[in-house]
Amino acid sequence: MNFQFMNYTIITSRCKCPHFQHIECCDAFKEFACLYINYINDESTDCLTLMLNNIKLYGGYPVGLFSSYCLLYGKQLSDC
Asked whether residue 35 is assigned to any structural domain, the reply reads yes
Asked whether residue 3 is assigned to any structural domain, the reply reads no
pTM, 2 dp: 0.85
| Of residues 45, 44, 46, 59, the one with CA closest to residue 13 | 59
How confident is the model at residue 4, as a pLDDT?
Answer: 85
Asked whether residue 15 is assigned to any structural domain, the reply reads no
Asked whether residue 4 is assigned to any structural domain, the reply reads no
Range(s) of the domain holding residue 45 = 21-75
Asked whether residue 29 is assigned to any structural domain, the reply reads yes
Asked whether residue 37 is assigned to any structural domain, the reply reads yes
For residue 72, CA distances in Å to 19, 56, 75 come to 23, 18, 6
9, amino acid identity: T
Q: How many domains does the chain have?
A: 1
The per-residue pLDDT string of the chain (80 residues; one tens digit each, 9 = 90 and over) reads 788 889 999 999 999 887 788 889 999 999 999 999 888 888 898 988 899 999 999 888 988 888 888 886 556 666 67
**What three-state secondary structure class fits 27?**
helix
